[in-house]
Amino acid sequence: MTNTKAEEKALDELRAFLESIDKHPDLKVQDIGIIAYLMTHRAAGNDVIYPSHLTIANAFNCDTRTVSRSLARLVKIGYISIVRRGGRGMTNLYSLNYEKLKAAV
């Protein structure tokens, strides 16, 4: 399967980011995994990233509280922003802050 130019660009950004992110003192290994998970969802052509905490937790075989803490750290650092949608069963919308991510490289 051949990737589109947009997918290739997103994957290149992901690679560069992952090579440099381990230098951030406040990040834990699960944070890196979650940001990579969100970035690969974006690379797959999804303009809106909206997996539930449970979906992310299942992907990493961890508790949803671990996901919540990790997402909170990523927001605090500025790598992502979250739009909380109201209503039962509604997932959050996640946006990647590419300017901040590129600055980390």
Close Cβ partners of 27 (under 8 Å, ≥ 6 residues apart) = 21, 73, 77
Tens digit of each residue's pLDDT (9 = 90 or more) over 59-75: 999 999 999 999 999 99
Pick the more confident residue, 61 or 9.
Answer: 61
Helix axes 5-21, 29-43, angle to 10 degrees: 170
Looking at the chain, how many residues does it have?
105
Proportion of the chain above pLDDT 70, given as a percent: 81
- For domain 5-104, the question of CATH label 1.10.10.10 is answered with yes
| Mean predicted lDDT score pLDDT of the chain | 82
d(CA 11, CA 5): 10
pTM, full prediction: 0.77
Per-residue pLDDT at 47 = 66
**What is the domain partition of the chain in residue ranges?**
5-104
